[in-house]
Amino acid sequence: MSLHARNRIVALLIAAAAAGCATGPAPSVKRGRVLNWSARTQEVARGPITLHAYAGFTGGEIFQAPAGTGSGADCASSLPGAHSTPLPADRVVFIAVPEGAVACLHTWTDSAYELLWHGEPQIERPSSPTHN
């Protein structure tokens, strides 16, 4: 095999590896951190997304509000209600936020409160075929 042919093969292998041969695109994972120093309500993430939220201390909850303006006003105009999810200390909570909604963090503590989260976009599952 000539040097030129070997270099071409190596170049093709590198290009195939860089292109991710035989793999699908990875879902875009979003991450975030919310740090509050007083009681407040603010936006965490927009749907559709499945959140994995973790808080080191008690004093917070996540609720969903209709996504409207695209600013923090969406959370401020909605109050936490029966559909809020408490964030227990040192536990991971899973929250599905549908399309057209926003996840909001409401804290009621006057000390430092930190929320760590990551999430993946919700993927529509294909409907299963019906068998006769």
Per-position DSSP letters for the chain, written without gaps between them: --HHHHHHHHHHHHHHHHHTTT-PPPPPPEEEEEEESSSEEEEEEESSEEEEEEESSSSEEEEEEE--SSSTHHHHTS---TT-EE--BTEEEEEEE-TTEEEEEEE--SS-EEEEEEEEE--PPPPPPP--
The whole-number pLDDT of residue 48 equals 93
**Domain residue extents for the chain:** 30-121
Q: How far is CA 102 from the centre of its chain?
A: 11
The whole-number pLDDT of residue 132 equals 47
What are the pLDDT tens digits along the chain (132 aa)?
677 777 777 666 676 666 654 555 555 778 999 998 899 999 999 999 999 999 999 999 999 999 887 667 888 887 767 579 999 999 999 999 999 999 999 999 888 899 999 998 876 554 545 544
CATH 3.40.50.300 correct for 30-121: no
CA angle 32, 38, 41 (to 5 degrees): 55
